Amino acid sequence: MPQRIATIEERLRKALGDGLLAQEPLRLHTTFRIGGPADFFFAARTPDHLVTALRAARAAGVPVFLLGGGSNLLVSDAGFRGLVIRNACDAVEFEGTVAHVGCGTDFLDFIYQCRDRGLAGLEFAAGIPGSVGGALFGNAGCYGQDIGSYTIECTHTTPDGAVVETKPAAWYEFAYRDSRLKREPRVLLSCLLQLRRGDPVESRREIEEKLELRRIKHPQWRIEPTAGSYFKNLPPDWQMPDAKHSPGTHRVPAGQLLDACGCRGLRVGDAMVFAKHANIIVNAGHATAREVLQLAGTMKARVREKFGVELEEEVMFLGERPEPGDASA
């Protein structure tokens, strides 16, 4: 086995050069700050580099995971057996009210760039962590809006890097926190987003307002590491007497059910439900993926018992799941 791994590393390094890292801790690349090492790690700065990395992995017979901004992700304590490619393609070009955006671009940084050019539309998303590509993958949104609604088209490649193609927004089947990419994997390289002319002063005010709301209700992930909202809100047809609905979507927030079940402050090891928001788990020190999964399981069980509904995870899990433990919150 050691001889085979050495051979794989040599083949990958020949294609990718000194940018290839071995045994890179993935906790350094996620907003949760949790996760064991990847066998190999490579940050692709251009679409060509990204496609080259995918083709090299295919030639070497290595599993691949594409990493964006590292939010909305929980990585196994055992890490990932294969090559993690971080999409670091962050070139942005503007033409009128249309932006051509590399999918490795930081989402908030892009929103600031739009503001500075008097372009409006995405202010609602200020504070959503991660990359533009990650936002497209999960159709990130809030307050009844989402990034899919502003998408004209995207350029992606197949997971093996064999085919690069551009598809219109309709192809991606954007829906609530969902896209076709979750069912038919593609690697996003860039996208065209349609914005509108706006007032930079008004955009700045709205962005600051949204960031302040997040500061009040959400943890600041650089201080209190988190993957963001852990569970999806309830489906539109699920109703609860006297429930408050999330703005714009008319869905019952998962946090409301978790609150009713007394989940705030629950803790397993260093995995803890955030004191100000029952649908957010934070890493309160040196939390492990096992602890997060055990805590999330307790939260789901409480909601299932009280409301008869099964919460669905919004946070994606990468790697081998640990065997269920006997620890509880």
CATH number of the domain within which 103 lies: 3.30.465.10
Last residue of a domain, one of 87, 108, 140: 87
Candidate list 229, 251, 290, 302, residue with the active-site label: 229
In-domain check, residue 162? yes
In-domain check, residue 246? yes
- Amino acid letter, 88: A
pLDDT of 238 reads 79
State yes or no: is 177 an active-site residue.
yes
Most distant pair of Cα atoms in the chain: their distance: 63
**Burial per residue of 91-108, b for 16 or more beta-carbon CB atoms within 10 angstroms, e otherwise:** ebeeeebebebbbbbbbb
Asked whether residue 189 falls in the same domain as residue 238, the answer is no
Asked whether residue 26 falls in the same domain as residue 126, the answer is no
Last residue of a domain, one of 22, 54, 87: 87
Host domain of residue 137 = 92-202
Candidate list 153, 206, 314, 320, residue with the active-site label: 314
Question: Comparing C-alpha atoms, which of 53, 68, 87 is closest to residue 160?
Answer: 53
Whether 139 contacts 178, CB under 8 Å: yes
State yes or no: is 314 an active-site residue.
yes
Task: Please tell me whether residue 1 adopts helix, strand or coil conformation.
Answer: coil
- Amino acid letter, 16: L
In the chain the first and final C-alpha atoms are separated, in Å, by 39
Domains: count for the chain? 3
Provide DSSP, 311-325.
Answer: --B-SEEESPPPPP-
Asked whether residue 187 falls in the same domain as residue 141, the answer is yes
Pairing of strands 37-44, 145-146: unpaired
In-domain check, residue 210? no
CATH code, domain carrying 262: 3.90.78.10
Tokens of 124: 């609602």
Question: Would you give per-residue pLDDT tens digits along the chain (329 residues)?
Answer: 455 556 899 999 999 999 999 999 999 999 999 999 999 999 999 999 999 999 999 999 999 999 988 989 999 999 999 999 999 999 999 999 999 999 999 999 999 999 999 999 999 999 888 899 999 999 998 888 999 999 999 999 999 999 999 999 999 999 988 999 999 999 999 999 999 999 999 999 999 999 998 888 888 777 889 999 999 998 887 777 666 666 555 688 999 999 999 999 999 999 999 999 999 999 999 999 999 999 999 999 999 999 999 999 999 999 999 876 544 45
Asked whether residue 192 falls in the same domain as residue 231, the answer is no
Candidate list 177, 186, 290, 302, residue with the active-site label: 177
In-domain check, residue 209? no
